[in-house]
Copies of this chain bind each other. A is one copy, B any other.
Amino acid sequence: MSRGAAAPVLAPAPAQPAGERPGMRPAHDLAIEGVSRTFSVRGTPFQALDRVSLQAQPGSFTALIGPSGCGKSTILRLALGLDRPDAGRILIGGVEPREAARRGDTGVAFQDPALLPWRSVAGNIALPLDVLGRSRRAAAARIADLIALVGLCGFEHALPAELSGGMRQRVAIARALVTEPAVLFLDEPFGALDQILRRQMTVELQRIWLENRPTTLFVTHGIDEAVFLADRVVVMHSRPGRIAEIVPVEFPRPRAPTLLSDPAFHRLSDRVAAALHGGTGAP
């Protein structure tokens, strides 16, 4: 995937160089500082997040793993400015989430693909460009690349109603990547994919990530995926949602698929699993 020349570099220079290639969109840091969020579930308060703090360096890859309902998606929504914390704050590259979003620094694939039913596959992938006022034409090649990447060649013009569940999710992945964001949020992007495709997409995601090194927050239920991709795996526990442990992952990059059968990899995976098991499990 080549960088579109048209994409403006709006973000201020990062504190630390984000990647290798010159002229790239610099990644931003992500700072989650003491964030709490309490919802009201049918009238009774429910604390979804309890003083969650997390610093992500520019160009880092953070995997977020935790039991269902522990607040992973809530963190993402807060970091995107779709919701406001009751306490604490979130800064992306030093600015408020909504401001960062407006600058086009963020990209996201939600847990629910939520495609616009009236837009084709290509049109859905182009949506963030339309929001940001960037040229679709300039991005045409990138869109085509992304469609190929997620294995949807031939379905460019299909409408969401004509796709399978996994195909819709893949559209959402492509959409998250189309703006080449400086900060990337992925909420279980591979949940509806078969294992082969999942593995394939994991490897592809690493490749793409290495190109631009966006600061990435990757929510997943796959421990191996998390360990394979991330600089560190943040393990959450629930009730209230909180960070239980942060497991650093120090394998050199690029990581080859063979890493998946490396004993060191398994040891780390087991450590993550153990950290997870320490939690209360599902609510």
Residues of A within 8 A of B (CB): 39, 41-42, 46, 65-69, 72-74, 111-112, 120, 151-152, 154-155, 157-159, 162-167, 170, 187-188, 191-198, 200, 221-223, 273, 276-277, 281-283
Q: Are A197 and B68 in contact (CB under 8 A)?
A: yes
- A226 → B minimal CB distance (Å): 10
Known: A41-B158, A42-B157, A46-B162. 5 other contacts (CB 8 A): A68-B166, A68-B197, A73-B165, A188-B192, A193-B221
Known: A66-B194, A67-B194, A191-B191. A42 touches B159 (CB 8 A): yes
Is B167 within 8 A of A194, CB to CB? no
Q: How far is the CA of A188 from the CA of B165 in the complex (A)?
A: 10
In the bound complex, how far is the Cα of B67 from the Cα of A151, in angstroms?
A: 11
- Chain B's closest residue to A192 (CB) is B191
**Which residues from B are CB-within-8-Å of A69?**
163-164, 166-167
Q: Is there contact, CB below 8 Å, between B151 and A283?
A: yes
Q: What's the minimum C-beta distance from A147 to chain B, rounded to whole angstroms?
A: 12
Quick check: A192 and B111 within 8 Å, CB to CB? yes
**Between-chain CB contacts (< 8 Å), 6 pairs:** A41-B155, A68-B165, A165-B187, A167-B283, A194-B276, A198-B221
- Nearest first, the 7 A-B pairs at minimum CB distance are A68-B166, A151-B282, A111-B165, A194-B221, A69-B164, A41-B162, A42-B157
Given the complex of chains A and B, what is the CA–CA distance between A277 and B277 in angstroms? 32
Residue of B nearest to A70 (CB): B164
Residues of B within 8 A of A46 (CB): 162
Taking the closest CB of chain B, its distance from the CB of A233, in whole angstroms, is: 13
Please tell me if the beta carbons of B42 and A170 are within 8 angstroms of each other in the complex.
no
Report which of B68, B152, B281 forms a contact with A164, defined as CB distance below 8 A.
B68
Q: Please determine whether B193 and A68 come into contact, CB atoms closer than 8 angstroms.
A: yes
Closest chain B residue to A238 by CB distance?
Answer: B164
Residue of B nearest to A170 (CB): B68
Please give me the residue from chain B that is nearest to A150 by CB atom: B282
Q: For the complex formed, measure the closest distance between the CB of A275 and the CB atoms of chain B, giving whole angstroms.
A: 11
From A164, A192, A283, name the one whose CB has the most chain B CB atoms within 10 angstroms.
A164
In the complex, how many angstroms separate the beta carbon of A112 from the nearest chain B beta carbon? 7
A151: B residues at CB distance < 8 A: 68, 281-283
